[in-house]
Amino acid sequence: MARGLFVTGFTVAEVLAIQSRAKSLLLDGKTIMSWNDSDTNVTKQFTMPVDQVLEECAHALRILDPFAYGKSQRVAASSVSGYLAK
């Protein structure tokens, strides 16, 4: 579930750039990279899981520009089945 990390302080252009970078890393298979050089081991990972970055970007774009990216999706439901005693 998106937490709105890219809503405050980010422009639509910045969110699109983040989304593009995450997408390219995902398509290139570079979400986690490791290097080994004799006694040195280095691992580099995207700061957030790529799927979460993409979800946050989609959420932010719906809030920042709802006309272009659709309104934020909200679901609410309630129902009563049968008789409820007081």
pLDDT of residue 84: 66
Return the domain boundaries, the chain. Answer: 12-69
**Closest Cα to residue 24, out of 9, 2, 46?**
46
User: Would you place residue 83 in the very low, low, confident or very high pLDDT band (cuts 50, 70, 90)?
Assistant: confident
From the CA atom positions of the chain, what is the Rg in Å?
20
Q: Which pLDDT tens digit goes with each residue over 13-33?
A: 999 998 998 888 777 776 666
Q: Which has the higher per-residue pLDDT, 79 or 14?
A: 14
pTM: 0.61
Amino acid letter, 53: V
Count other C-beta atoms under 10 Å from residue 25's C-beta: 16
